[in-house]
A and B are shown apart, each in its own frame.
Chain A
């Protein structure tokens, strides 16, 4: 069994790592990593903007953002991917690569989910901090940037992290629209070997687990560092435990 795993990795490590590159598109673990990193890097700032819009009194900001969040929450991600995959080329009259389709969908979907986390963090701070910042002469966005967000984002870090981990796992759905990422590569290997699906997908599971676990540990370290710096800060639990936060898919 163990030898099977090692054999499979030895024979296919390049495919798992970079797909069929340079003979085909970049795929495998590299594509998964790029897709995850890009989607998180774009979804996070987007989520803050959506959260601002959701907190705004202006109906032109409030309504579209609310609709976006409700749609993202109410529709399965797979459905959303298929919609973007089939509809966007019809709308713009040009083919969109699967990778871009997947990226855009993930950014919107994750942005909507994250925005609710961010909004929750901002609302939970209460009015006092905003009021104080405004009383000192900060504008709305200045107060948000220097006073509210540093606290709100820190307080909701475990939930943000769960969402990041979710995003990494959600890249697997790119498989259904033929995005050549890690799951796609694993499936190619499985199709070649035919007889060892358990071993192949076991390797796949381990790789995903290691990536997500590393991210969790990194965030935990960061969190402890900040907590130590602000030692004894009231209202903020010192031992935030990311393991107790369940990531939802």
Chain B
């Protein structure tokens, strides 16, 4: 579904991604963890080309993401990758419902009524149908992030990417967002998720990728990764988390 082959990215001298070779299978849930500055967010943002790469290829659903293409092709490709940001980024001038319907209507040309119906269904799925008319400022962080997930789902993406979706939330709101993500995973959604929620990783992930300094140092099933990490850096990371 998502495949990285020899991907490299530099910021000047600094090597943000180094020889990334990895693959996310259809229906798989991958959690990417690692210390901050290790390249996790950069990696996930290359999948819908919010970040450019300097060499290598990334394919999404069989299509090369970083090849030469027209702007409209890139827009189409992006519309098929669900992306959830750390800072929610709801559109503050639109109600929750309008946030969810905007892109299906304006990008995919879905009829307004159909988009509304679908959006109400999605808001119901994230437990927020009662907040459809509310503006982002009237919602808590957790509610905003759930609307953001519904907004991404409205484009019917074959895969969802989460860039630290709970890191900007108060602790008591983390659970509600993770619950929505857990449901998505259970429904078979292909997911790539950068997160520090190790409990979530342990419970939901099919595989964990551990990154440090731009490398993927270790990929393993969560059971193996958490009980018996192979790489010294991963061992240190996990022991730091426990303290």
CB within 8 Å of B: which residues of A?
128-129, 131-140, 142, 146-147, 150-151, 154, 229-236
Contact = CB atoms under 8 A, between A and B. Distances in A.
B138 A231 contact: yes
Contacts of A133: 91, 103
A136 B85 contact: no
Nearest to B85: A132
A52 B50 CA distance: 21
B93 A151 contact: yes
B89 A132 contact: yes
Given A232-B137, A234-B137, A138 B92 contact: no
The 9 closest A-B pairs by CB, nearest first: A137-B79, A132-B89, A233-B137, A136-B103, A137-B107, A135-B83, A232-B137, A128-B89, A150-B93
Interface in B73-98: 75-76, 78-81, 83, 85, 87, 89, 91-93
A154 to B, nearest CB: 7
Contact of A139 (B72, B89, B135): B72
A230 B48 contact: no
Given A129-B91, A137-B155, 11 more contacts: A128-B89, A131-B50, A132-B83, A135-B50, A136-B152, A137-B108, A138-B107, A146-B102, A230-B92, A231-B137, A232-B135
B46 to A, nearest CB: 13
B163 to A, nearest CB: 10
Nearest to B92: A233
A95 to B, nearest CB: 46
A191 to B, nearest CB: 52
A147 B91 contact: yes
B34 interface: no
Contacts of A235: 92
B71 interface: yes
A146 B107 CA distance: 11
B39 interface: no
B151 interface: yes
B112 to A, nearest CB: 14
Contact of B87 (A128, A134, A139, A150): A128
B50 A230 contact: no
Q: Most chain-B CB neighbours within 10 Å: which of A128, A136, A146, A230? A: A136
Interface in B99-150: 102-103, 106-108, 135-138
Contacts of A142: 106-107
A131 B148 CA distance: 14
A232 B144 CA distance: 14
B56 to A, nearest CB: 21
B72 to A, nearest CB: 7
A238 to B, nearest CB: 11
Contacts of A231: 135, 137-138
Contacts of A131: 50, 85, 89
6 contacts: A132-B85, A137-B76, A137-B108, A142-B107, A151-B93, A232-B135
Contacts of A234: 92, 137
Contacts of B93: 150-151, 154, 230
A232 to B, nearest CB: 4
A129 B102 CA distance: 14
A170 B154 CA distance: 49
Contacts of B102: 136, 146-147
Contacts of B137: 230-234
A146 B101 CA distance: 12
Nearest to B107: A137
A236 B136 CA distance: 13
A113 B38 CA distance: 44
A136 B136 contact: no
Interface in B46-78: 48, 50, 71-72, 75-76, 78
B92 A151 contact: yes
Contacts of A236: 92
A218 B83 CA distance: 40
Contacts of B107: 136-138, 142
B106 A146 contact: yes
Nearest to B136: A233
A129 B88 CA distance: 10
A134 B71 CA distance: 11
A146 B91 CA distance: 10
A128 B85 CA distance: 9
A129 B89 CA distance: 6
Contact of A232 (B78, B80, B103, B138): B138
Contacts of B79: 136-137
